[in-house]
Amino acid sequence: MADSKAIILNRMLADIDSNYDKSQGSFFYDVLSATATEFEKKYKENENEIRKKHINSAVGKELEELVKEYANMERKHSTQSSDIVIITGSNGFPIIEGEMVASDNLNFIFTESSTIVNGTAAVKVKCETYGSTGNVPASTIKYFPKTLPGLQTVTNTEPFINGYDEETDDELKARYYEKIGEPQTNSNIAEYRAWAKSIIGVGDARVLPLWNGVGTIKIVLINSNKLPVEQNLIDNVHNYILSVRSAFSGTLTVVSANSKAITISVTLDIDTLNYTADQVETNIETNITEYLKEIAFKQDYVSYAQLGNKILNSDGVKDYSNLVVNNGTSNVAIGETEIAILGGVAFG
């Protein structure tokens, strides 16, 4: 951190012979005070310029410029979740591109026009809001913000999962250091992983060479929300890698990670004076879900002890007992093509 005006001034005053008056208001004090002000300003300017030129300290646009210059990388931007909704209504009535349906607090825009045939229509929509906020469970899109003639009901039979938040500075830095820290040459494992992770929506990738014999390579993906990926993202990764790798590089297979459900039962001692049971249960599920995201593709087991720790450190929990995880009381193994997903918690 650059020196302050006071530090600079005191340092300069110390260099003046003590036989001279250096008190506040004196000639030397006033002259050096003005000089110290300018030095402080210049030091801060220099410090800011230095900060902008280092990956560790750069932020925002400055960081984007540096990773582009040093590693030809770009920040992954946010996306709008999108999928199909099912509309019921009267035959022949139009569904107009640009009109909307909604969940409890989000609007979804028709991205194509269609017509009700045989009482129904399957129509593509995208969330009006960017990012993971637009990821909603099945059967939650059920409203028309305004009356649309001839349209009666709407629902999404599948969850929306492809809304991704913009890559944060820390995430971009981590991807940068990963790229420069692992030699990426001749279509090696590191290069395949970097190619996959450069695609918007990919949170991590596991590369399995020779998975089905000589000349085969498999890439297993999870998305930015640390969940299995949809087919469109698989296709994007597959097509991109085919376009950038060298010819005759063998057979490429790209797949989604399989989810392994983690089911939990536990008896709780709750702080009922400050929390409701529903609040505590939500806090526990949130903490466990975050833990499972943290270990996705990082370790090959779910820790029984860590699950207990997450429960005990959830707001509103005084103590717990009888913790059972996947019908047992030990760590749960996770395969190399799997990620752990919370399957449910039964509270006693």
Model confidence band, residue 305 (pLDDT cutoffs 50, 70, 90): very high
User: Token digits for 99?
Assistant: 């009109």
Predicted local confidence at residue 87, as pLDDT: 98
Task: Give the mean pLDDT of 68-92.
Answer: 95
14, 40, 71 - which closes a domain = 71
In angstroms, what CA-CA distances link 231 with 77, 167, 199, 211, 318?
20, 21, 14, 21, 43
Q: Are 338 and 263 in a shared domain? A: yes
What sign does the CA torsion over 299, 300, 306, 311 have?
A: positive
In a domain, 307, yes or no: yes
What sign does the CA torsion over 51, 52, 54, 56 have?
A: positive
In a domain, 209, yes or no: yes
Predicted local confidence at residue 11, as pLDDT: 84
Give the contacts of 268 (CB within 8 A, at least 6 positions apart).
280, 311, 317, 319, 320, 347, 348
Gap between the terminal Cα atoms of the chain: 53
Q: Are 252 and 263 in a shared domain? A: no
> Given a cut of 80, is residue 42 above it in pLDDT?
no
Q: Which domain holds residue 327?
A: 259-347
d(Cα 48, Cα 112) in Å, to the nearest integer? 48
In a domain, 150, yes or no: yes
pLDDT digits (tens, 9 = 90+) for 190-211: 999 999 999 999 999 999 999 9
Domain count, the chain: 4
